Chain A
Amino acid sequence: MNPFLVRARRHVAFQLGAVLLLLFVGTALVSLVWTPHPYDELQMRAKLLPSSSTYFLGTDHLGRDVLSRLMVGARTSIAVGLIAVALGMSAGVALGAWAAARGSWVDEALSRASDLIFAFPAVLIAILITSVLGASAQNAVLAIALFNVPVFARVTRGAALTLWGRDFIRAATAMGRGPFGITLHHVLPNIVSVLIVQATIQFAVAILAEAGLSYLGLGAQPPLPSWGRMLRDAQTYIFQAPELAIWPGLAIASVVLGLNMLGDGLRDLLDPRLRLLRVG
């Protein structure tokens, strides 16, 4: 049996994380074809109902089924997080690898640029960006992706730089391979595990960020549900229907917890000595 799987079977946190994540991805996929009720069906006569056999988690202020909205919200969260991380990772890895291969001014410019992005108060800049581009799920993705670029650029650069000093790469250079080819064939394949672990952690951070932005009304637009926005709406009805403020938060916390445990588990399993960046 694959040694990775053998160790994975002993790593409880990793398994828990994987189960939590699969649960949410599964829910999101199911919501594409089935929800208990249409997520945007208004029932003005069934506002703020408590849990019942018809509405498992009750209804919201417009009489919509909370469970259905949570399920579709999983879709929003996962889509926004995944795309933001994918975008930030592509750009960051490319830039980081370039800086490591080229050195000199490219490296210097990149580290100034990432200093710059890290120096900005992230939430405020994300608010500014969504104000410039307009509030929507797509623009929330862009704002979150931007902050992922320097994270991946730094991790890639650091990991790649150590590789560039190694003998097999020196040999490849001596054989006349260009920096692009070396990066593609020798550097990237050797840093994949670092990137996977970092991407898992960033996915968790991105889901938290999306929740924060949509809590401020800057994420996905209604009637498309998003967990952050459900919390914002729920806060208004906190006296009449306090449980409305519980479910979306629990959903965010569990999926983020799942990703964090998965990320830490992956790190233990792939390479316990990995140094990771954690930027909140």
Chain B
Amino acid sequence: MIDFLTRRFAAALVTLALATVVVFTVVEVLPGDPALVMLGTDARPDTLAALRAQYGFDQPLPVRYGRWIAGLASFDLGASHAYGTPVGKLIGDRLMVTLPLGALALSWALLVAIPLGVFAAWKHGGPGDWGVMGFAQIGLSVPNFWFGIVLVLLFAVTWQVFPAGGFPGWQEPLNALHALILPALSLSLGEIAILTRVTRSAMLDTLREDYVRTARAKGLSESRVLFGHALRNALIPVATVAGLIAGFLIAGAVIIESVFRLPGAGQLVYDSINNRDLVVIKNVVILFTLLVLLVNLLVDLAYVLLDPRPRVSA
């Protein structure tokens, strides 16, 4: 078990190291000159050269890669070229939007998906099951950004009960929450579909187990069998999938942030790509990658702790 975890950890480290090389290379080959972006169309060649030297763009690639990695290792992410602000602060501010958004979306998804999944498993094969599975199928098929636009159309344009976009900041907590509801709903659509399916199939598995039959045989009420016994054990795969989704929710929110004009972390990278703010792009992308790897490791760890049978790596 320890051996398995060590191997997973080593593999994650190798992946991370490879990721830094890939990200660095991609950022380096991005067409466009950051100095030209900063100085604009009237810049003279000598001014551009002076600025490039000032930012170290003229250094050889290995030196710049080395500097970046040294910075990462010492938790120094450097300062954004565009804003002049430390990258750590920039990303911190943006996560204040993206993390609550992801958390809202995920909690909503769990709140809807688990009862739906349990219901479908309970009514296995019947019209209720068909209905829930059909809904899940639709949830997987509707692009979440279009769902967002439709929500805007209904709740912001027609009924005007939610803002169509923007974020007022957390100094107005209620308004901030209000502004995150439609984006969280749109973001959660696909997750609801996935989690409903997972809950349903996990419930179907546990309902076939002996202890569930025993519980039923003992004459326990159907709701106690479902929620007390079956669901408790079905929650393990649900939690695993929810964890995996959480890692992707944060980075994957970029299009939803774009629909609702939220100043989130995904938008930060998107804007940075458009401004060639190279320092921000590479650090944030690596941060997201690290996050996904961490979540994967945690999921592995959870598997090992909850399920002592030996596993082969996928």
A and B touch in the complex (CB under 8 A): yes
| Nearest Cβ on chain B to A69's Cβ, whole angstroms | 16
In the complex, A131 has a CB within 8 A of chain B: yes
Asked if B157 contacts A239 (CB within 8 A), the reply is yes
Asked if B254 contacts A124 (CB within 8 A), the reply is yes
Closest chain A residue to B254, Cβ basis: A123
In the complex, B14 has a CB within 8 A of chain A: yes
Asked if A132 contacts B19 (CB within 8 A), the reply is no
In the complex, A19 has a CB within 8 A of chain B: no
Most A CB within 10 A of own CB, among B30, B146, B273: B146
In the complex, B180 has a CB within 8 A of chain A: no
Asked if A253 contacts B19 (CB within 8 A), the reply is no
Contact mask for chain A residues 204-239; partner B; CB cutoff 8 A; 1 contact, 0 none: 100010011001100000000000000100110011
Asked if B19 contacts A116 (CB within 8 A), the reply is yes
Q: Which residues of B contact A99 (CB under 8 A)?
A: none
Asked if B149 contacts A121 (CB within 8 A), the reply is no
| Nearest Cβ on chain B to A91's Cβ, whole angstroms | 17
Asked if A123 contacts B141 (CB within 8 A), the reply is no
Contact of A260 among B14, B140, B143, B313 (CB under 8 A): B140
In the complex, B246 has a CB within 8 A of chain A: no
Asked if B141 contacts A253 (CB within 8 A), the reply is yes
Asked if A120 contacts B289 (CB within 8 A), the reply is yes
Q: Which residues of A contact B157 (CB under 8 A)?
A: 238-239, 242
Q: Which residues of A contact B149 (CB under 8 A)?
A: 231, 234-235, 238, 245, 249
Contact mask for chain B residues 134-155; partner A; CB cutoff 8 A; 1 contact, 0 none: 0001101111011101101100
In the complex, B248 has a CB within 8 A of chain A: yes
- Which residues in window 252-268 of A have CB below 8 A to B? 252-254, 256-257, 260-261, 264
Bound state CA distance, A7 and B299, in angstroms? 38
Asked if B190 contacts A253 (CB within 8 A), the reply is no
Asked if B19 contacts A119 (CB within 8 A), the reply is yes
In the complex, A271 has a CB within 8 A of chain B: no
Range class of the B interface residue count? 35 or more
Contact mask for chain B residues 254-284; partner A; CB cutoff 8 A; 1 contact, 0 none: 1100110000001001100100000001000
In the complex, A41 has a CB within 8 A of chain B: no
Asked if A252 contacts B143 (CB within 8 A), the reply is yes
Asked if A116 contacts B270 (CB within 8 A), the reply is no
Closest chain B residue to A256, Cβ basis: B141
Contact of A253 among B16, B143, B248, B251 (CB under 8 A): B143
Q: Which residues of A contact B176 (CB under 8 A)?
A: none
In the complex, A44 has a CB within 8 A of chain B: no
In the complex, B73 has a CB within 8 A of chain A: no
Bound state CA distance, A239 and B259, in angstroms? 15
Q: Which residues of A contact B22 (CB under 8 A)?
A: 116, 120
Bound state CA distance, A134 and B32, in angstroms? 11
Contact mask for chain A residues 120-145; partner B; CB cutoff 8 A; 1 contact, 0 none: 11111101110110100000000000
- Which residues in window 19-42 of B have CB below 8 A to A? 19, 22, 26-27, 29-31
Asked if A253 contacts B292 (CB within 8 A), the reply is no
Starting from the known contacts A122-B248, A124-B269, A238-B153, 19 additional A-B residue pairs (CB-CB under 8 Å) come to: A116-B22, A120-B288, A123-B254, A123-B255, A123-B266, A124-B251, A124-B266, A127-B273, A128-B273, A132-B26, A132-B29, A211-B143, A212-B145, A215-B258, A245-B146, A245-B149, A245-B153, A253-B141, A253-B146
Task: List the interface of chain A (C-beta within 8 A of B).
Answer: 13, 111-113, 115-116, 118-125, 127-129, 131-132, 134, 154, 204, 208, 211-212, 215-216, 231, 234-235, 238-239, 242, 245-246, 248-249, 252-254, 256-257, 260-261, 264, 278, 280
